[in-house]
Amino acid sequence: MASAIQPKEPPQPLNHFFVGQDNRGCWTVRDERNLVGGCFVSKDAAIHFARQETNNAPGAVICMGESQRLSLDPLFGHREAA
């Protein structure tokens, strides 16, 4: 009796998520494709969201440095005020 072999689907490229604070000090998350993101009440909540979105893939969540700012403007198509 023969059995059918199902071909594996090619792996999807890893979508990285960035976690950081915006200019107002709010914790933000944004993916590298500017499709998913949001503001969160804490760093822990932001990281939790990013990990869920990436299914806990190793290396998929990147925390920005304290001196760096992460804007959600690219996600919503807005320009940052000067």
Residue 31 lies in a domain: yes
Residue 23 lies in a domain: yes
Domain that holds residue 51: 15-70
Structure tokens given for 57 = 């893939």
Residue 43 lies in a domain: yes
Residue 36 lies in a domain: yes
Residue 32 lies in a domain: yes
Domain count, the chain: 1
Q: Is 74 helix (H, G, I), strand (E, B) or coil?
A: helix
Residue 3 lies in a domain: no
Residue 42 lies in a domain: yes
**Which spans in 2-64 are helix H?**
43-53
Written as tens digits, the pLDDT of the chain (82 aa) is: 556 676 666 556 678 999 999 999 999 999 999 999 999 999 999 999 999 999 999 999 999 998 999 998 888 875 554 4
Structure tokens given for 13 = 């490229």
